[in-house]
């Protein structure tokens, strides 16, 4: 090697080292400034608080409990070199909901199984708004909501026909039910007769069961059998979904009488301004996977927790049945959907259950345009903001303002028009708020209310004798039972 080449190589190496040193010094200064500005736990230079996070099983309620119990409303932690801020003050959350409209870019890596094209990861606000309007237009339509409540009643007739006197694990028994009710509503009656629907469901379940464990692993763990199962299930989920979408497209193209009233048909037949297909096959598959993922385990967990609360409170069941019967007596022909809109106590019971156990313990947002100011704290643009819902829903202000402890189960805190009740109603946003609120929030409420109305009209139920407590865990970002959730049912037929 000539002296000239050696010199050039040396210059390049020294330049790289100099640039790296400058960046490292800049990062260390930034890190020191953020550590001084925000309270939070000690963090390693290389991994930050990653090891503590993984020890707690990821973004779980336990992890955020420890942070906020020790450091207050606004807390910082580090994941590798990325600053994270966690908040629990409802007023801070309201501002973040309105100003931080994007998911952190790191979320795409963690939830890669949804596909790059998924609504969660979009950053163009016009595209986001357009797609949200398509989803919301379908999910919130009167036709969809009536069809949903009618389908729920028919399927529950079948599901519960032998429940009298039985002890039922409701978390397990409502799994198939919810998945296939939603599949039918979203993708048409063909869902139940297409064998690919079961492949989609089973592979989805495997992905959810393994997701928390493998989402934070920095490198592929092909040596591990569970990891290989997770990757195979993800591949099968996508394959079965794309096959289902392609089959539905072919049916729509070849049959003039094919029903086009479902969401999948709307996506497949949508056109852009130039008259071309608005979505590619892969984009539609991503949206199918996304809406199934968003509507399944969240609703299953919510339903489990609210039925369990009612099983612990038989007197509350009596009051709810009286409320339901009172509305029916005013209009004997009222539909379940219309009935559900007039039940203040039932609505309060659902809200209080979701307050006591937040379905999603934490949600992440980011503002890549400007810094955010929360009281004395300035959050730099692009920083991941964690909205710690489980902790936020337990704060005394506003939830203890009426005199009831924030730790107690009290649906009445959401009832009426007092300033205290209005404050609770405003602060409680389990589906998020603002322009990026969950597109399925109204649909989910309608579905759960319809199920609760049916169960209250047909059964008395109580927590099984051997089910003193139901331990819980965070799986795939959802708080759910870590074991059986057993209730004993007694038919009301003849009463």
Output the pLDDT for position 117: 87
Place of tokens 């107690």: 408
Task: Render pLDDT for 245-295 as a digit per residue (tens, 0 to 9).
Answer: 999 999 888 866 667 789 999 999 998 888 888 999 999 999 999 999 999
CA distances from 370 to 31, 68, 122, 353, 366 (A): 19, 25, 18, 36, 10
Q: What is the mean pLDDT of residues 64-68?
A: 96
Residue 358 has pLDDT above 90, yes or no: yes
Residues 6+ apart with CB under 8 A from 392: 87, 88, 89, 90, 93, 427
- SS3 state of residue 326: helix
Residue of higher predicted confidence among 192 and 14:
192
Residue 173 burial (C-beta neighbours within 10 Å; 0-12, 13-18, 19+): middle
Biggest CA-to-CA distance, the chain: 100
Average pLDDT in the chain: 92
Beta strands 377-379 and 384-388 are: unpaired
Task: Render pLDDT for 99-138 as a digit per residue (tens, 0 to 9).
Answer: 999 999 888 888 888 988 899 999 999 999 999 999 999 9
Output the pLDDT for position 161: 96
pLDDT band at 196 (very low <50, low <70, confident <90, very high): very high
Other beta carbons within 10 Å of 182: 23
Q: d(Cα 15, Cα 37) in Å, to the nearest integer?
A: 33
CA 202, distance to chain mean position in Å, is 19
Q: d(Cα 108, Cα 199) in Å, to the nearest integer?
A: 24
Task: Render pLDDT for 409-439 as a digit per residue (tens, 0 to 9).
Answer: 999 999 999 999 999 999 999 999 988 999 9
Percent of the chain with pLDDT over 90: 77
CA distances from 476 to 297, 360, 364, 381 (A): 9, 9, 14, 27
Q: d(Cα 289, Cα 186) in Å, to the nearest integer?
A: 11
Output the pLDDT for position 109: 82
Q: What are the beta bridge partners of residue 76?
A: 85
**pTM exceeding 0.75:** yes
* DSSP secondary structure code for residue 36 in this structure: H
Q: d(Cα 216, Cα 133) in Å, to the nearest integer?
A: 32
Q: What are the beta bridge partners of residue 461?
A: 489
Place of tokens 């939070």: 40
- Among candidate residues 231, 239, 135, 132, the one with its CA nearest the CA of residue 196: 239
CA distances from 97 to 100, 298, 350, 367, 373 (A): 6, 20, 22, 10, 13
* Percent of the chain that is helix, strand, coil (3-state, to 5): 60, 10, 30
């Amino acid at each position: 090697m000539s002296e000239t080449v050696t010199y050039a190589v040396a210059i390049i190496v020294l330049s790289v080292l100099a640039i790296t040193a400058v960046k490292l010094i800049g990062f260390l200064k930034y890190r020191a400034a953020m550590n001084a500005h925000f309270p939070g736990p000690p963090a390693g230079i290389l991994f930050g608080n990653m090891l503590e996070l993984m020890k707690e099983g990821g973004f779980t309620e336990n992890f955020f409990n420890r942070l906020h119990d020790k450091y207050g409303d606004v807390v910082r932690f580090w994941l590798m070199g990325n600053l994270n801020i966690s908040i629990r003050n409802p007023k801070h959350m309201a501002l973040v909901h309105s100003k931080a409209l994007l998911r952190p870019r790191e979320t795409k890596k963690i939830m890669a199984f949804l596909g790059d094209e998924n609504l969660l990861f979009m950053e163009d606000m016009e595209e986001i708004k357009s797609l949200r309007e398509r989803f919301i237009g379908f999910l919130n339509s009167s036709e969809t909501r009536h069809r949903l409540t009618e389908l729920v009643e028919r399927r529950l007739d079948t599901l519960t026909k032998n429940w009298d006197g039985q002890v039922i694990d409701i978390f397990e028994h409502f799994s198939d039910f919810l998945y296939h009710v939603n599949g039918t509503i979203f993708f048409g009656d063909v869902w139940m007769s297409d064998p690919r629907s079961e492949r989609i469901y089973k592979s989805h379940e495997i992905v959810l069961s393994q997701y928390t464990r493998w989402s934070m692993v920095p490198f592929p763990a092909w040596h591990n059998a569970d990891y290989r199962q997770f990757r195979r299930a993800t591949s099968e989920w996508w394959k079965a979904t794309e096959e289902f979408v392609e089959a539905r497209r072919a049916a729509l193209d070849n049959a003039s009488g094919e029903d086009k009233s479902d969401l999948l048909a709307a996506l497949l037949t949508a056109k852009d301004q130039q008259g071309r297909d608005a979505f590619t096959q892969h984009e539609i598959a991503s949206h199918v996977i996304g809406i199934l993922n968003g509507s399944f385990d969240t609703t299953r967990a919510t339903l489990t927790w609210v039925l369990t609360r009612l099983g612990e409170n038989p007197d509350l069941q009596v009051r709810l049945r009286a409320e339901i019967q009172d509305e029916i007596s005013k209009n004997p022909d009222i539909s379940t959907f219309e009935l559900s809109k007039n039940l203040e106590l039932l609505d309060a019971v659902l809200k209080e259950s979701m307050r006591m156990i937040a379905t999603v313990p934490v949600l992440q947002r980011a503002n890549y345009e400007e810094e955010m100011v929360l009281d004395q704290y300035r959050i730099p643009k692009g920083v991941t903001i964690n909205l710690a819902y489980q902790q936020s829903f337990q704060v005394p202000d506003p939830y203890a303002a009426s005199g009831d402890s924030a730790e107690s189960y009290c649906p009445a805190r959401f009832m009426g028009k007092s300033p205290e009740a209005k404050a609770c109603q405003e602060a409680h946003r389990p589906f998020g708020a603002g322009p990026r609120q969950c597109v399925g929030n109204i649909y989910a409420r309608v579905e759960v209310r319809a199920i609760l109305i049916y169960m209250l009209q047909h059964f008395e139920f109580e927590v099984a004798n051997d089910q003193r407590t139901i331990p819980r865990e965070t799986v795939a970002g959802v708080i759910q039972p870590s074991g059986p959730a057993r209730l004993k049912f007694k038919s009301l037929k003849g009463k």
